[in-house]
Amino acid sequence: MDQIKIGRFIAERRKAQGLTQAALAEKLNITDRAVSKWENGRSMPDSSIMLELCGLLQIDVNELLSGEKLNMEDYKKMAEENLVLLRRQEEAANRKLLSLEWVIGLSGTFTLFIGMFAASYAVKDRGWQIVLIVVSLAVFLADAHCALWLEQSVGYYECPKCGERYVPTMGAVFLAPHFGRTRYMKCPHCGQRGWQKKALTLDGERMMR
């Protein structure tokens, strides 16, 4: 995705609507510095305001992501290319976050092991032994909760029965039997239980909605 091209297109469309950077920013409840960063190609509009921005610039999201006005012949091709790019970006971001889950989980486990080892062999005072055990256990539980939250919220689970991809509740993830990133859960779409695998992106049709 060419951020420089997109930024120039935003500036062009803003000027075509007779808006200054400050006026556009005020309508979107953001700073004019954020608009300046878009137009200089240093950042992209947040997805939460993208539809409103497109309305103000009188373009659609596909044209925004393409950085140009599209005719009907080019529209489908650019829509498919933008969809592929969005899926790649989402997949890369989710992959990084799930890697962080392993780091957090291993860190908590290591802290618990060191705390228990120290309390058992390195510290003789009973009071300090209790403190070490409590602190290491608290760190382990906090890290475990954070790792579980990442597992639940990053990416999606795919139902083997109906193919629906969804984000389960924290309770469903916590209680589900699992191996690796596959969990035995009930699909909220079809109501069937099955071994549901982690997916890093939504399916293409739902991303286009």
pLDDT at residue number 73: 64
Q: Whole-angstrom Cα distance, residue 51 to residue 88?
A: 21
Q: What is the dihedral of CA 122, 124, 129, 130, to 10 degrees?
A: 170
Instruction: Please name the residues in contact with 208: beta carbons below 8 A apart, sequence gap of 6 or more.
Output: 79, 83
Span 39-65, pLDDT tens digits? 999 999 988 888 899 999 999 888 888
Q: With 0-12 CB in 10 A as exposed, 13-18 as middle and 19+ as buried, what is 3?
A: middle
pLDDT at residue number 101: 87
Tell me which H or E stretch contains 26. Answer: helix 21-28
Locate tokens 């997805």: which residue?
A: 47
pLDDT less than 50: residues of the chain: 204-205, 207-209
pLDDT at residue number 79: 67
| pTM score of the predicted model | 0.58
Q: Whole-angstrom Cα distance, residue 10 to residue 40?
A: 10
